[in-house]
Amino acid sequence: MPREHYSDLLALISVAEERSFTRAAARLGISQSMLSHTIRGLEARLGVRLLTRTTRSVSVTEAGERLLRVVAPRFKDIASELRHVAELSETPAGTIRITATEHAIDTLRWPKLAGILTTYPKLKVELSSDYALTDIVQGRYDFGVRLGDGLTRDSSAVRIAPDLQFAIVGAPSYFAARAMPAIPQDLTNHACINLRLPTRGNLYAWELKKDQSELNVRVDGQLVFNGIYQIVNAALSGYGLAYVPEDLARPHLESGRLLPVMKSWWRTFPGYHLYYSSQRETSRAMQILIEALR
């Protein structure tokens, strides 16, 4: 195969990994029509179908699987060697992509990341705020940040923060005409501000614990948000009870703008962990970030 056709194989690998011409085209930075033309040209030269296309999905044929088993690992080896050569430079360079919740980014990670940018001016850090349980391989992220109890077995992880307690809070104005709940069952009679998780589309159940008793409580209310800061603001305005990280609520608890609710049921979780694919080789830039956040 002429060298100019190597890019066609890279296009095939991208479509096979993404299972979508749309996502693969975005990944490669070309139009979907150009990508389709490239794949058709490759199939014509080889004389076989490599992909099966339907209106909803793309799958790899037997011939395509055979070709990918041979060429995909070799392209990955080449990419790995290129990274190694680039890292011989004294100054690490490149972009590190991280997915995390806004709370993790704002209250824990940013101060340390800022120091990295000053020390390594050729290093770029891209932070994506997301509450989804993102597949970092599929999303092409280098790292994710998640509480320790949410980690999967196929990832490597480094603890980067102490345990995190979640608190139930409400504004004094909310309790002006309501009795404060004493037990989890009382929450059903209160307006609670919900968090919607994008991964499954469900509302997050409040995870409570007292001594050996653990409960996941489905609460109800007029407001649903997809970010924790909006929930805090709504609670401060008296629209209902909120279940939020205690460190986020602490200044408002100390000032009296929020009141603690059912404190004996507040639950503590293993702190934030920086996780990455155990199948991926870590670059020098990734190692620098791990050490900075550890």
pLDDT in tens, 118-164: 888 888 888 888 887 777 877 888 898 888 876 766 678 889 889 99
**What is each CA distance from 101 to 84, 143, 182, 192, in whole angstroms?**
31, 12, 30, 21
**pLDDT value, residue 262:** 97
Q: How many domains does the chain have?
A: 3
The chain-wide mean pLDDT, for the chain, equals: 86
| pLDDT, position 167 | 98
Give the Cα separation of 129 and 101 in Å (integer): 5
Residues 21 and 42 in one domain: yes
> What is the pLDDT, as a whole number, of residue 256?
97
Domain boundary pick from 59, 83, 107:
83
pTM greater than 0.85 (yes/no): no
247 burial type by CB count under 10 A (0-12 exposed, 13-18 middle, 19+ buried): middle
Share of the chain residues as helix, strand and coil, in percent rounded to the nearest 5: 45, 25, 35
Is 13 in the same domain as 43? yes
- Shared-domain flag, residues 104 and 182: no
Find where tokens 């001594």 sit.
Answer: 211
Give the model's pLDDT for residue 118: 84
Question: b/e per residue, 157-195, with b = 16+ CB within 10 A?
Answer: beebbeebebbbbbbeebbeeeeebeebeebeebbbbbb
Give the integer Cα–Cα distance in Å for 180 and 263.
Answer: 12
Structure tokens belonging to residue 265:
């049921």
Q: What is the pLDDT of residue 245?
A: 96
pLDDT at 200: 61
Pairwise CA distance, residues 247 & 106, whole Å:
12
**Domain contains 217:** yes
Within a domain: 88: no
Same-domain status, 145 and 188: no
> Given 44, 59, 83, which residue is the final one in a domain?
83
The predicted structure's pLDDT at residue 2: 55
Domain that holds residue 53: 3-83
Instruction: List the chain residues with pLDDT less than 50.
Output: none
